[in-house]
Amino acid sequence: MSLIKILAVESSCDDTSVAIVENGRKILACETFSQIEKHKVFGGVVPEIASRNHIESMVLLVKKVLKNSELELKNIDSLAVTYGPGLVGSLLVGVNFVKGLSLATGLSVVPVHHIKAHVASLYLTYPELKPPFLCLLVSGGHTYILEISDYDKIKIISKTRDDSVGEVFDKIGRTLNLEHPGGVHLDKISEFGNIQNLALPVPLKSEDTYDFSFSGLKTAMINIINNLKQKQVIFKTEDLAVTFREHVINYLISNFVEFAQKNNYTKLAIAGGVSANLLLRRKLTQICLDNNWEFFMPRLELCGDNAAMVGSQAFYEYKKNNFADLNLNAIASDFL
Ligand code: KG4
Ligand code: ZN
């Protein structure tokens, strides 16, 4: 079979990204326009601004990846696009752009689920990696333990019952007056802090479930910070950050590792924006080494939203003839 080249588009949140990926494993070109600077002043992503920026940069990015890869549209075998979950206005820009391009070129469209795309960032990082494996999927919108039984077969083992871990890191970052996105900066300054003794709860920990809950933990941390501010206690931001990071990462890891141990998994992975977290990466690398387990984590530049991972997942969907027709719509709400 000749090599399949897929031109993929990602616009589910605030990153506009276009990539060309060969046979699901080789990035021929990938260009991402991060809108962080545009949203920073508002302390979070403003959906309306995100959609407008996707529209402005999409065509430019397509031209750029074609130029960088020295390819033309006629060399492309299929298009692919993230159709959900995400911000509906943002998703619609990508979905409609790709439908238009399909009409103009006659190319097929592979619809890609955002979570499956995050998992595929691992296939780009490890060309030899194949399912099955157990994956901790942590991002701005999701927190899951997933069993990846095949490229297009994902079983949910557990998930968060309220906030996602990324959301909570961002909120605490903001409460500590860090720049948007809070999670990224909280992780960075944590490297310079000393762990303190704070009364943080360990939520929803029982024999019966591997589900997560973060809202109580978030509220407890906000109360601690506000109390310190009110009493005008002088504290080091990096000390509070590192204490919170340690607590959250230990909580995430304990559920993940306990499930793996009890169910004899020996191939573990992480994916999603929060998989860039330095402590999560360090701790799981060590734990997997100690247990003689294989461990996979995306290259740092592939942890956040990007179209290369969409192009990777799309290859496996393409092989199964999973194509969308021109009625393809964006799906904002959570589904898997
Ligand atoms: O996957 P992603 O780029 O977008 C969604 O699908 O949501 O994830 C973004 C999330 C944000 O909450 C961001 O703060 C968080 O990932 N994040 C981090 C780190 N890098 C990104 N959280 C903790 N530590 C990091 N190093
Ligand atoms: Zn994402």
Q: What predicted TM-score, i.e. pTM, was given to this entire model? A: 0.97
Minimum CA distance residue for ligand 1 atom 1: 273
Which ligand is closest to the CA of 141, given by its number?
1
* pLDDT at 254 (0 to 100): 96
pLDDT reported for residue 231: 95
What does each C-alpha distance from 127 to 77, 207, 264, 292, 332 come to in angstroms? Answer: 21, 36, 24, 21, 31
Identify residues whose C-beta is under 5 A from ligand 2, the ion: 139, 305
Per-residue model confidence as pLDDT tens digits over 201-242: 988 777 789 999 999 999 999 999 999 999 999 999 999 999
Q: Which residues of the chain have pLDDT under 50?
A: none
Residue of minimum CA distance from atom 13 in ligand 1: 183
Residue-wise pLDDT for 58-67, tens only, equals 999 999 999 9
DSSP tag of 144: E
Q: Quick one: pLDDT at residue 1?
A: 65
Ligand 1 site-directed mutation target among 33, 118, 184, 281, most atoms within 8 Å of CB: 184
Instruction: Give the DSSP letter string of 213-270.
Output: --HHHHHHHHHHHHHHHHTT----HHHHHHHHHHHHHHHHHHHHHHHHHHTT--EEEE
Under a CB-based contact definition with an 8 Å cutoff, are residues 83 and 110 in contact? no
Residues with CB under 6 A from ligand 1: 13, 139-141, 166, 169-170, 181, 183-184, 187, 272-274, 276-277, 304-305
